[in-house]
Structure 1
Amino acid sequence: NDVIIGVAFGSFLCENKQFFAQWLHYGLQTYLIDGMREALLWLNSWPAGLKLNTELSQFYCHSLVGLVSVWGWLLEHAAPCFPALVWFIGVGGCCGMTMIVSLLSDSLSVLMAHLYVCYYLSATVFSHQLGLAGSLWNLFRGKRYNVLRHRIDSWDYDMDQLLLGTILFTLLAFLLPTVLTYYALFATARLCVIIVHAMFDTITALLNHFPLFALLLRLKDPLRLPGESSCFAFAAPYSMLAYSRAGGVFIQRSKTGPLLLSSQPAPFSSIFRHYAHLARRLITHYHPLRMLRQLASGRLLSPISREAIRYSMVPTEDVLKR
């Protein structure tokens, strides 16, 4: 079914490659190049009445606008190759719909490389300024970080050290709003890209782990899909009815009759149980609070590793115990 869906969708992409190539070129040029350039120029001209540091804002604006313009020039020259790119993604449908989704995710990362570079630069500067602010906070409290014991200890600073800390705090207070403004722009853009990656990862996980054979077998012949393993002890030999269950098979024994074997089909919840583990991994990685915490601390946002959502043939620990 993965291959059938992939071939159908890949054929649709190949037949409409010119339309998708034009739409891709228009979207990239309008929103990711011209839109980001206009946003940077707007931030450089007192955005919403906020007075930023003029020299630092101009440095940010000219540097990042130059980077975006260079990437736009490269995309403009690569635009004739977009139909071939769409055709190549469509041909990948012969390997399944998951291949198309993976190629789309990789193409998204490549086409938006300029946003990642701008986000990486702004996040690095913002993270270093947060670290400097934490050090100055410890300085004014009479504390310092002990690198040997990994803790904060009390410390007596000299007057020159306090004066230097005050000067650095003044510089930080005047520069941080400008850095934060540009960081917020590219962090928002990166967050939108991560949301698209999360959609692709969810689709890939659903396609890779959909239990089609087990589901059809459960509907067609439930007795061929036994339930989970559990054991019950036999009753006394002279009881009227004793039963045992192992691997979804019931063994019934009466006082006078023969042994009776009956199969207990697996419930539908057990068939889709692995979806709960995949959903837990995806929700843990793409949890909004976790992502906002990373944004507030200046840490880099990244999509989930594909190894984390790949189906593993190794049994889990509870299966091994059973």
Structure 2
Amino acid sequence: MVKIVHKYLLDTVVLAINSASAAQKYFERHDSFKQSSANIPIISMFCTFMWHILAMSLASLSTLFYIFIQFFHSFLNFESQSWVYSASAKAFSNTWINFRIRSCQILYWPIFLQDNDLRSQTSVECAEKVALHKHSLWSSLVVDILLGDLIGLALLFHAESVCSWVSNIASNLTNELLRSGSVWLMGVPAGFKLNIELAEVLGMISLNTIQIWSTLWIFVGSLFIYFIKGLAILAILFGVTIPAALVIDMIVIVTLHVSTLHWLISILYSQQLHALAALWRIFRGRKWNPLRQRLDSFDYTVKQHVVGSLLFTPLLLLLPTTSVFYIFFSIMNTAISLSCMFIEVIISVIHATPYIKIALRLIKPRRFPLGIWFEIIACHNNSSHSPWSAYIDRNSLPVDEAPRKEDIDRTVSSVLISILHSNYLSIGQMVLPHYRKAFSGVSRSYIATSVFGLLSGNKVASTLGATLPSTMPWLCIPYNEYWCLCRNSILACMVDCNYYRCHDSRPPSFGLT
């Protein structure tokens, strides 16, 4: 009990010292720029002038984005009641969600950059969390835009080659896989003798659907080069996540004929399985009770057995033909869904990666302590015990166990010199919690549920459901006020940098000292 009280008092004293130190640094930081402004050297004046130029430039650029986003938001609100808006919102749902996230990041970055939380200035723990959250927003935005610039410039300079490459892949997939596969299933696939009439009906429906969809996309193919260039410009301006989400939506739209055929054949396959299961229960003398959700015994008549036998036999013989077509289109639809999930994982990883923590871990690993350990320098013993036996006996004691008298006598007669070291979090240990939070919406039984849905012909989720950054309320203020807000936020950073330069000290690490 005494140890617990001592530990509580020690934590309180350490917290009070750190809070007082943080508050002192806060007031010194805001007063140092005024006190040192009377004797500023020429170099400092030039740096201040360049900082003002940088603040006005970034504020002007952010205001241009702000005007465009507000205009686009007003246009969408004006057309929100039309059927075109509803259909486009469903078709481009991933793009709309990521555009909303990026818009909120652009709108709120000057607010997050300002340090207006008074509670965080007197609490070391709150100051650490606020600082990391503040810097994680702009670091994620900068990394996303830099990746978008690299990929967008590459697409812009190689738009024609990318367009021809994608067109060749789409043509090969349509001709070599879909058409050839449907014709192959209409014959004797892998030596299986199928029902010729049912195979021809399903094959002709598939071929006609593929041909109609391919004919429609011939007219759209001439505009594909402009889509690639628009995708590149969108990546340069807004980052790589919005074009990646747009690619997901376009893949879903382009492969709509495959998903439609898979949906129709899955309905036929699942209904055939349910009918066979119901007819099989007739031969077992069982009946499904929907009220109690269980199987009950039931006495069927002879006529019911005869009708059940007449229906069960053709359904069972037609099941291999339906299963072959269902397996083929399930493989195609699953491959498309996996490609979309892969892009979705990339988007979630880009949003969830703590870039500022990784940079600080590489520069200042002391900001992320994990534990402590002792390095033995010397051990001097005045008694008959050897130095190593004293060292082993001292370290063999548990932390919370009271020392015994013989251990105290042994400790008094020996001198042990050691250095306290600290372990640091690795980058993997630091990044893994963020990834777990991003993919917390993915169920552990997702694979088992998907496999069961594929085998039974039920609908399978085509997305992982990864967690994206939360959106904030829409910000709508006058343009001049937003420009001043951006400029003042950047100038506030100049005050912090001037404080650290004048005091010849590094920024506080907000750790236990």
Q: Indicate the TM-score class for this superposition, using the shorter chain for normalisation.
A: 0.7 to 0.9
Matched, 1:197 2:355: no
Matched, 1:298 2:440: no
Q: Which has the higher contact order (CA 8 A, sep 6+)?
A: 2
Offset of residue 271 of structure 1? 4.3
Aligned to 2:232: 90
Per-residue displacement from partner, 1:258-281 (whole Å, max 9, x unpaired)?
xxxxxx897342443121344565
- How has the CA–CA distance of structure 1 residues 16 and 270 changed in structure 2, closer, same or farther, with 3 Å as cutoff? closer
Matched, 1:61 2:189: no
Aligned to 1:130: 273
3-state SS in 1 of match to 2:295: strand
- How has the CA–CA distance of structure 1 residues 201 and 130 changed in structure 2, closer, same or farther, with 3 Å as cutoff? same
C-alpha RMSD of matched pairs (Å): 2.5
CA distance in 2, matches of 1:218, 1:167: 73
Of 253, 256, 265, the residue aligned with 1:113 is: 256
Is the Cα contact below 8 Å between 2:353 and 2:431 reproduced in 1? no
Aligned to 1:275: 435
- How has the CA–CA distance of structure 1 residues 310 and 265 changed in structure 2, closer, same or farther, with 3 Å as cutoff? farther
Letter of the structure 2 residue corresponding to residue 8 of structure 1: L
Aligned to 1:4: 146
3-state SS in 2 of match to 1:149: coil
Task: Give 1:32-181 correspondences, 5 Å limit.
Answer: 32-93=174-235, 94-181=237-324
Aligned length: 278
Offset of residue 35 of structure 1? 2.8
Per-residue displacement from partner, 1:224-271 (whole Å, max 9, x unpaired)?
55779xxxxxxxxxxxxxxxxxxxxxxxxxxxxxxxxxxx89734244
Letter of the structure 1 residue corresponding to residue 463 of structure 2: I
Is the Cα contact below 8 Å between 1:44 and 1:61 reproduced in 2? yes
CA distance in 1, matches of 2:358, 2:298: 66
Aligned to 2:467: 309
- How has the CA–CA distance of structure 1 residues 50 and 207 changed in structure 2, closer, same or farther, with 3 Å as cutoff? same
- How has the CA–CA distance of structure 1 residues 124 and 20 changed in structure 2, closer, same or farther, with 3 Å as cutoff? same
Letter of the structure 2 residue corresponding to residue 163 of structure 1: V
Offset of residue 294 of structure 1? 1.8
- How has the CA–CA distance of structure 1 residues 49 and 223 changed in structure 2, closer, same or farther, with 3 Å as cutoff? closer
CA distance in 1, matches of 2:312, 2:270: 16
Per-residue displacement from partner, 1:105-138 (whole Å, max 9, x unpaired)?
1111111111101111111111111111211122
Offset of residue 141 of structure 1? 1.0
Offset of residue 140 of structure 1? 1.4
Per-residue displacement from partner, 1:62-114 (whole Å, max 9, x unpaired)?
11100000011111121101101111221221211111221111111111111
Question: After TM superposition, what 4+ stretches of structure 1 lie above 6 angstroms from structure 2?
Answer: none
CA distance in 1, matches of 2:458, 2:424: 45
Is the Cα contact below 8 Å between 2:159 and 2:229 reproduced in 1? yes
Which is higher, the Rg of structure 1 or of structure 2? Answer: 2
Is the Cα contact below 8 Å between 1:222 and 1:265 reproduced in 2? no
CA distance in 1, matches of 2:238, 2:190: 50
- How has the CA–CA distance of structure 1 residues 266 and 149 changed in structure 2, closer, same or farther, with 3 Å as cutoff? farther
Is the Cα contact below 8 Å between 2:248 and 2:340 reproduced in 1? yes
Is the Cα contact below 8 Å between 1:123 and 1:298 reproduced in 2? yes
3-state SS in 1 of match to 2:224: helix
Is the Cα contact below 8 Å between 1:33 and 1:72 reproduced in 2? no
Letter of the structure 2 residue corresponding to residue 276 of structure 1: R
- How has the CA–CA distance of structure 1 residues 11 and 270 changed in structure 2, closer, same or farther, with 3 Å as cutoff? closer
Q: Structure 2 regions of 5+ residues with no counterpart?
A: 1-142, 372-421, 473-513
Letter of the structure 2 residue corresponding to residue 144 of structure 1: K
3-state SS in 2 of match to 1:153: strand
3-state SS in 2 of match to 1:310: coil
CA distance in 2, matches of 1:90, 1:113: 24
CA distance in 2, matches of 1:113, 1:285: 27
CA distance in 2, matches of 1:194, 1:130: 24
Aligned to 2:36: none
CA distance in 2, matches of 1:286, 1:5: 31
Letter of the structure 1 residue corresponding to residue 433 of structure 2: R
Matched, 1:14 2:173: no
Task: Give 1:213-224 correspondences, 5 Å limit.
Answer: 213-222=356-365, 224=367
Letter of the structure 1 residue corresponding to residue 178 of structure 2: M
Letter of the structure 1 residue corresponding to residue 173 of structure 2: Y
3-state SS in 1 of match to 2:299: coil
Is the Cα contact below 8 Å between 2:276 and 2:316 reproduced in 1? no
Per-residue displacement from partner, 1:49-74 (whole Å, max 9, x unpaired)?
22211111111011110000001111
CA distance in 2, matches of 1:313, 1:270: 24
Letter of the structure 2 residue corresponding to residue 304 of structure 1: T
